[in-house]
Structure 1
Amino acid sequence: MSIKKHIYILTISLFFLGSCTAKYAVVKSNREEYKVSNDVQVDSAIIKTYLPYKVKVDAEMNTVIGYTDVVLTKSSTVPESVLGNFFADAVLNQAKKIEPAIDFVFPTTKGGLRNDIAKGPINVSNIFELMPFENQLVLFNLKGEDVLKVITYIAASNGQPVSGLKFNIKDKSPEQVLINGKSFDITKNYWVLTSDYIASGGDDAVGFATPISRKNIGLLVRDALLKEVKQFQAEGKRINAKLDGRITKN
């Protein structure tokens, strides 16, 4: 595989005006193509420049911040997954420290679960691989009818990672919906936390276009995950996420 690198050689005509102001004009432009492959010799000067930073980054990324007693996997035969439940619960737990009024979270789609986390030690790089994007968490105050749009989208897509929300999917529609353990009331307003990606319609998500209010809570999705794992470690606990029937289907 090669990377095209364009080098432009400019021949400049210099004109002097009575005011001594210089003006420049491009009169010629040439382009050359260089192939980058294993045949290219290593530039020791470049390696010498970046190596100290690479050593520091590698050390930080390889730092163990916690442990999981189970494989955190996104694979599942039901609408929820072990990884999705861990992800959503972690975001809810950490975000509630900032905004206690949150009713439920929908922090990522299934497509946003980038990789599984193996049983055993969890290091920083595992979390960056799971969530490589700089997505922000945004809190929405939504009317009940918009909340229903969100939940209907989740049901129609055969479930998504959520926490604080429980329902059954029947004919691609939600039924028996519970929010914070209470029956959903379409006449009420709810506080729903999601990512800026989902809020902007990512993965065709709906329901966030006309909120009563919205607020960036100042927390990255990835940072919420890091904080959750570190909290488990600080409390001497290991992660033991599981399927718990938060989204069922029949």
Structure 2
Amino acid sequence: MKQVFFKFFIAVFLLLNFAACKRGQRTISQTHVNQIVIDSSIIAADSMDTFIQPYRSRLNEVLDAPLSYAPRSITKTEGKWNTPLGNLMADLMLDRANAVALKRGEQKADLALLNFGGMRASISKGPVSERTAYEVMPFENGLVVVGMPGRAIKKMVGFLTTASRPHPVSGIEIILRADGSLKSARIQGQPIDDKHIYYIATSDYLMGGGDRMDFFSDRVSISDTGYKIRNAMVDYFKTIDTLHAETDNRFIQLDSL
């Protein structure tokens, strides 16, 4: 009898708790939002400003320490098919990727590709510093080397020849006829072989199909250099006393057929 009463008591207890839970449910009927504007009208606390000042000074000292020198401004606005800044960026990506490959005993990259929109500032005439790298490349994009067959490289060339902007390249020579059609494309001076595997130094953003570069889906291998492109810039600047970057013949269009 006691067992029956105990089971009955437990059943009633659970039923009452369930009902209480149902009655206790809450719903949001109204929300209030306050916008807090953070601008120059906010006065910094003297104590906090004093606390961070040594760190700020040290950070600015590191960012502004000269690493190299630019005898003139290096921009991405000069040139139709290739630009001084674009050429510099693609060249240094290829250089740094191959420096990593040499240390690891891995396959060197044959060419490099970056997107035009990935460069966000020019390099001004004068001292070049780590801050310069942050201004040109504010993103956290990593430097990777992607293996791709020649037929995929030809897709890349087709993309570049019809793009409305001069995406930076290095290690490849593209020549267009006067009518805009492709005359030739060579990698390291040789015609592109459909079956050969070529290795491209590029950003992980583009490798993932960013900026409509979906030809990277045909990749056969990926090697992460461990470099942020910005850090690759800094290390490259340290190896070059004076930066020289111009438009050249890596990507051109002929005046006549």
Does the alignment reach a TM-score above 0.5?
yes
For 1:221, the equivalent position in structure 2 comes to 229
- Shift in Å, 1:172: 5.1
Amino acid at match of 2:135: E
Residue 8 of structure 2 is matched in structure 1 by: none
In structure 2, the CA distance between the partners of 1:188 and 1:38, relative to structure 1 (3 Å rule), is: closer
CA RMSD of aligned residues (A): 2.3
Is the CA contact (8 Å cut-off) linking 2:79 and 2:247 kept in structure 1?
Answer: no
Counterpart mapping for 1:22-171 below 5 A: 32-99=34-101, 101-106=108-113, 108-157=114-163, 158-170=165-177
- Number of the residue aligned with 2:11: none
Q: Is the 1:143–1:188 Cα contact (8 Å) retained in structure 2?
A: yes
Distance in 1 of aligned mates of 2:181 and 2:231: 33
**Closer/same/farther in 2, CA of residues 33 and 89 from structure 1, 3 Å limit:** closer
Rounded Cα–Cα distance in structure 2 between residues aligned with 1:91 and 1:227: 11
- CA contact under 8 A between 1:152 and 1:173: conserved in structure 2? no
Q: Does 1:191 align with 2:199?
A: yes
**Contact between 2:83 and 2:166, CA under 8 Å: does it hold in 1?**
no
Gaps of at least 5 residues in structure 1 are 1-24
The aligned amino acid for 2:100 is I
State how many pairs are aligned: 222
Higher-Rg member (1/2): 2
Identical amino acids, percent of aligned pairs: 25
Equivalent residue of 2:169, what SS?
coil
CA contact (8 A) 1:149 1:206 kept: no
User: Match of 1:248?
Assistant: 252
State the Cα distance separating 1:63 from its structure 2 match.
Answer: 0.6
1:249 corresponds to which letter in structure 2?
Q
Q: How far apart, in 2, do the equivalents of 1:172 and 1:202 lie?
A: 25
Structure 1 residues 145 and 116: CA distance shift in structure 2, 3 A = same
In the superposition, relative to structure 1, how do residues 87 and 33 fare at CA in structure 2: closer, same or farther (>3 Å)? closer
Change (3 A) 1:210 1:187: closer
Helix, strand or coil: the match of 1:55? helix
> Shift in Å at residue 105 of structure 1?
0.6
Runs of 4+ in 1 over 4 A off after TM superposition: 25-33, 170-173
| Aligned-partner SS, 2:226 | strand
Contact 2:129 2:234 in 1 (8 A): no
Bigger mean CA offset, 185-194 vs 195-204: 185-194
Does the Cα contact within 8 Å between 1:66 and 1:230 map onto a contact in 2?
yes
1:209 corresponds to which letter in structure 2?
A: S
Change (3 A) 1:199 1:120: same
Equivalent residue letter for 2:250:
R
| The one of 165, 174, 177 aligned to 2:185 | 177
| Deviation for aligned residue 1:244 | 1.7
